[in-house]
Amino acid sequence: MLKCHSKFMLITLLSMGPSLTGFSQARKGEPIAPIEAPTGYHKAKVELGKKLFFDPRLSKSSAISCNSCHNLMTGGSDNQVSSIGHNWQLGPINSPTVLNAKYNIAQFWDGRAKDLKEQAGGPIANPKEMGFTHELALEVVESIPGYKSSFSKVYGTKAVTIDQVTDAIAAFEETLVTPNSPFDQWLLGDDKALTALELAGYQNFKAKGCVACHNGPAVGGGSFHKMGIVKPYPTKAEGRFAVTKNPADKQVFKVPTLRNIELTYPYFHDGSVWSLEQAVDIMAEHQLGIKLSKEENNSIVAFLKTLTGDQPSFALPQLPPSTISTPTYRKEASLTPTKSKASH
């Protein structure tokens, strides 16, 4: 009887419309789409990739993991102007977040990696980042029985390949999405998910032209654009020119995602701005050629903060132990800080 009564009450509330329930139908025609929770993934492969993502033994010093620069406790980035790599070498570009990276048109600021799998192999073999080679990394992995067993179960082969290592890491990174943000709740029909200020910020975000580059589920990541379209932006970074060698691609970068943007400071490829308010003003000036009022800036910043979704939540992996035969190269790592080039 109680069950039937509850069902009747729910039907009654829904029939009375959004004024009482707070929900309307999911909004169509918006330039931004909701983030969907991960489903249908290969659980064993993802678990293996998670271990590799957190394992510093994939670096020459045994001190740097993927999570070092893409810290899942701080929005998938490291909150540094640029990351510190092997032998304390300081990179020249800001580490982009790994969260929602599956939606990117390509990986790295210059788009030189076509997907997450290709990207995963880059830092391992970069002498300025993790400082290893693929061959040496495989020697380490193959010397660890726990890894050998996991790779055999997932891939059905005895030998471990770098293709399998990067495939597993990419499978884990594919699951690092952040659904259920207040803005996504609004997109899905919850009229009470946004405040009047936040909703005004979204309208300004569209009206001022920000949405021309920052759209889709990741609110960015789907295209390349010049940094300084209207007003030149001072930077030494070559951008996509380093990949294409096309002069038109100088200072052209992948448009970053704005998901979880309040967590992933400092901003821009050079990590030069720590304030979201200042970042919004700079983008308006250099990309759109406009000056925002304080009220417009405040509303857009309020909207941007509604893009913070549920962060990945899971138990930290228990890494398989090394053996006496596991090679170590940490003796070659220096404790003296140096500056050099690295890339993300």
Average pLDDT over residues 267-276: 98
The predicted-structure confidence for 119-136, as pLDDT tens digits, reads as follows 999 999 999 999 999 999
**pLDDT at 17 > cutoff 50:** no
Q: Name the average pLDDT for the chain.
A: 91
Query: Does residue 266 have a cis peptide bond before it, meaning omega lies within 30 degrees of 0?
Result: yes
Q: What is the pLDDT of residue 22?
A: 58
CATH fold match for the domains 43-174 and 182-307? yes
> From residue 137, how far is each of 5, 65, 128, 152 by CA, in Å?
62, 12, 15, 17
Q: Which residue has the higher pLDDT, 11 or 23?
A: 23
Q: What is the pLDDT of residue 101?
A: 98
Q: How far apart, in whole angstroms, are the C-alpha atoms of residue 178 and residue 259? A: 8
Look up 129 and say whether it is catalytic: yes
**pLDDT at 40 > cutoff 50:** yes
**pLDDT at 2 > cutoff 50:** no
pTM for the model: 0.89
Annotated catalytic residue: which of 36, 118, 129, 173?
Answer: 129
Backbone phi, psi, residue 165, to 5°: -60, -50
Give the pLDDT band (50/70/90) at residue 332: low
Q: Give the orientation angle of helix 134-142 with respect to helix 162-174, to 10 degrees.
A: 80
Do 342 and 127 touch, CB atoms closer than 8 A?
no
**pLDDT at 79 > cutoff 90:** yes
Q: What is the pLDDT of residue 25?
A: 78
> Regarding the domain delimited by 182-307, which CATH topology (the fold level of the hierarchy) does it fall under?
Cytochrome Bc1 Complex; Chain D, domain 2 (1.10.760)
Do 58 and 129 touch, CB atoms closer than 8 A?
no
Which CATH number fits the domain 43-174, given the four candidates 3.90.1570.10, 3.40.50.2300, 1.10.760.10, 1.20.1250.40?
A: 1.10.760.10
Domain ranges of the chain: 43-174, 182-307
DSSP letters of 69-121?
Answer: HS-TTTTTS--SSS-B-GGGPBPSSPPPP-TTGGG-SSBSTT--BSSHHHHHH
Q: Give the orientation angle of helix 145-155 with respect to helix 162-174, to 10 degrees.
A: 80
Q: How far apart, in whole angstroms, are the C-alpha atoms of residue 73 and residue 314? A: 11
